[in-house]
Structure 1
Amino acid sequence: MKSCLVVDDSKVIRKVARHILEALGFTVREAADGREALASCIEALPAVILLDWNMPVMSGMDFLRALRDAGLPKRPKVVFCTTESDMAHIRAAIEAGADEYVMKPFDRDTLESKLQIVGLA
């Protein structure tokens, strides 16, 4: 079964994403910030990470850099999920290692299409 780590400081967003992802056949783990997410990835690497940009403790961008530098055997797909919509943010996310980008709020169809693009739906 495919696994997803949902990283967002909003419990509501994590709950909505979990509901959608479980309906799509994913097992889901959650993290409230980048530091929790990094520890979770070191423990068990997910197939995909749904990642918020703005979080306390460790932002999504800082998490991406830490994930890249963690020396893990492989890199999961990363879908940034954020309200940041300008091209500079999107370009920065892709350059930092994100595979796709989805705007909040999102629905099942939007998230499913992004997961298809990265080869996981």
Structure 2
Amino acid sequence: MKTCLIIDEAPVIRKIAFRLLSREGLDVDTLEKPGEALAWIDNHGAPDILVVGVSARDKAVVEEIKAVRERAGSSTHLVAMIVEANLGLMTRLKRAGVECYLYKPFDRAALDAVLKRFMEPETVLA
């Protein structure tokens, strides 16, 4: 079963994403801050998908995401939840290891559209 870690300061975002992704068959856990993810990864291993809420106001978030990317490794798919298209922030996030973006507020269709490619079963080459 694929694992997903959702990180966002807003409890309602964590709750909605948890419910939607759990219904998709993922093993989901949630955290409030990106800095908490390092200890989570040490205790549970790297998640398959990491969805992190990002605010342009939080200047430390890009560095925290870099640290999480380094700890989780390249096999973890990293998605940033953002409120608006901010080219500067999006560029810094891309450099930190973010693969794609999900705009808040989101609905089931938007979440499915962004995460669909990461939730498909791995194909093993013989």
Q: Same fold (TM over 0.5)?
A: yes
- Look up the match of 2:76: 76
Tell me: CA distance 1:108–1:59, structure 2 relative to 1, closer, same or farther (3 Å): farther
Partner of 2:4, secondary structure, is strand
Tell me: CA distance 1:57–1:80, structure 2 relative to 1, closer, same or farther (3 Å): closer
Distance in 2 of aligned mates of 1:120 and 1:92:
25
Gaps of at least 5 residues in structure 1 are none
Q: Is the 8 A contact 1:34 1:55 kept in 2?
A: no
Gaps of at least 5 residues in structure 2 are 121-126
- Look up the match of 1:113: 113
Partner of 1:81, secondary structure, is strand
What's the C-alpha RMSD, in Å, of the aligned pairs? 2.4
1:48 counterpart = 2:46: no
Distance in 2 of aligned mates of 1:5 and 1:58:
22
Tell me: CA distance 1:106–1:59, structure 2 relative to 1, closer, same or farther (3 Å): farther
Alignment-mate amino acid for residue 113 of structure 2: S
| TM, length-normalised to structure 1 | 0.84
Alignment-mate amino acid for residue 65 of structure 1: K
Partner of 1:85, secondary structure, is coil
CA drift of 1:59 comes to: 4.6
- Look up the match of 2:19: 19
| TM, length-normalised to structure 2 | 0.81
CA drift of 1:110 comes to: 0.8
- Look up the match of 2:123: none
Q: Give aligned-pair identity as a percent.
A: 27
Partner of 2:29, secondary structure, is strand
Q: Which range is displaced more, 73-82 or 91-100?
A: 73-82
User: Deviation digits for residues 52-97 of structure 1, max 9, x if unmatched?
Assistant: 1139999542222112343x56541011012142222222211210
The structure number with the bigger radius of gyration is 2
Partner of 1:112, secondary structure, is helix
1:89 counterpart = 2:61: no
